[in-house]
Amino acid sequence: MNATQQTADEVAERLFGSLLGTVEIMSVYVGDRLGWYRSLVVDGPASAVELARRTDTQARYAREWLEQQAVAGLLEVESEGAPDERRFAIPASTAEVMTDPTSLVYLAPLGRMLGAVGPALPRLLDAYRHGGGVSWDTLGDDARESQADANRPWYEKQLGPALAGVPAIHDALAAPGCRVLDVGCGGGWSSIALARAYPGATVLGVDIDQPSIDLAVTNARDAGVSDRVRFVCQDAAALPDATVDVAFAFECVHDMPRPVEVLSAVRRTLAPGGSLVVMDEAVADAFAPDGDELERIMYGFSLFVCLPDGLSSPPSVGTGTVMRPSTLQGYGEAAGFGAFEVLPIEGFGFWRFYRLS
């Protein structure tokens, strides 16, 4: 869309569409966090009074939400009646997107990222005016759980098959006793997926955020891989003494205030011949106006989450979500990596895979 060719009516119409999308995402946040979608899936269709009773919430709000969801085309009216008795059902398609943590279209967690940003808006404005930022820690559980749950199905379903198509990485991971490092591991789903895909490997997950490490420990225990997956709360720039064969950094390098320090530390842990695989946003090679949806959403996350997080710990290079391939290549070179390549993994969500060695 070319900015100079749009009429004011077109800009206004577009903004109204954005407003509609924003309020609907906020309504998804409510239904997700209060367990309303889940109750409609697990316990079946409900009136406002029934839904409120099942979830220990307020019937008048439940009624407004149920009606709004039906008006928005996300729920169906199952049976008519007086407003408090009208019953609503959740179609299978909505149920999958809102409640199925194993599905690649499980997008409800993304609403939590906006839930995290809402309370931080005054601090964001302050940072925009005076400098500094808003840390990942400040954004809290909504951001952590949004991130972990939104990425989980991609790691669980697609990471193993994607890596199997890259012989240089797959062969190293499949070698008996392969030692794997996962920096910026968040809720640990990538570490768990690597352990499951490569039963002979041991995985060390490192994250600077203690609540993320706590989540990762619980997730690994529930997944039954605690014997081979260990988590440490640590700045990845000061990695524990370890030698690893393959290292990963999933969607985190662009958040790091000092990525070269972290990449240098990772390089020092690599055994001879070892590689670092970075998964980050599949943005275009260079800035250009009128970008595609991926470019637009990544700039959006950058404004409210990743850039302020990176800038919250000075000194910071201030990468932001839109990390161009040449930017990562420059960080890799500064960290002492001699080779940089884009891996042939296509169609993996929003992401691109790089190999540094």
Ligand X SMILES: C[S@@+](CC[C@H](N)C(=O)[O-])C[C@H]1O[C@@H](n2cnc3c(N)ncnc32)[C@H](O)[C@@H]1O
Token digits of residue 46: 């409900």
Residue 136 touches ligand X, criterion: CB under 6 A: yes
Residue 235 touches ligand X, criterion: CB under 6 A: yes
145, 207, 280, 295: residue in contact with ligand X (rule CB under 6 A): 207
Residue 151 touches ligand X, criterion: CB under 6 A: yes
98, 217, 252, 311: residue in contact with ligand X (rule CB under 6 A): 252
133 versus 186: smaller Cβ distance to ligand X = 186
Residue 255 touches ligand X, criterion: CB under 6 A: yes
CA distances from 242 to 68, 271, 323 (A): 53, 10, 28
Give residue 104's region: left, alpha or beta (phi > 0; psi -120 to 50).
Answer: alpha
Position of tokens 């839904």?
Answer: 51
27, 39, 147, 269: residue in contact with ligand X (rule CB under 6 A): 147
Token digits of residue 160: 């193993």
181 versus 237: smaller Cβ distance to ligand X = 237
Measured CA angle at 331 (ends 117, 283), to 5 deg: 50
116 versus 252: smaller Cβ distance to ligand X = 252
Report phi then psi at 85, rounded to 5.
-105, -10
> Quick one: CA dihedral 258, 263, 265, 266, positive or negative?
positive
Distance between terminal CA atoms of the chain? 39
**E strands along 117-187, which residues?**
179-183
Counting residues that bind ligand X (by CB under 6 A) gives 24
**Cβ 251 to ligand X, closest distance in Å?**
4
**Cβ 214 to ligand X, closest distance in Å?**
12
52, 181, 237, 247: residue in contact with ligand X (rule CB under 6 A): 237
- Residues contributing to the site for ligand X (CB under 6 A): 136, 147-148, 151, 183-187, 190, 206-209, 212, 235-237, 250-252, 255-256, 262
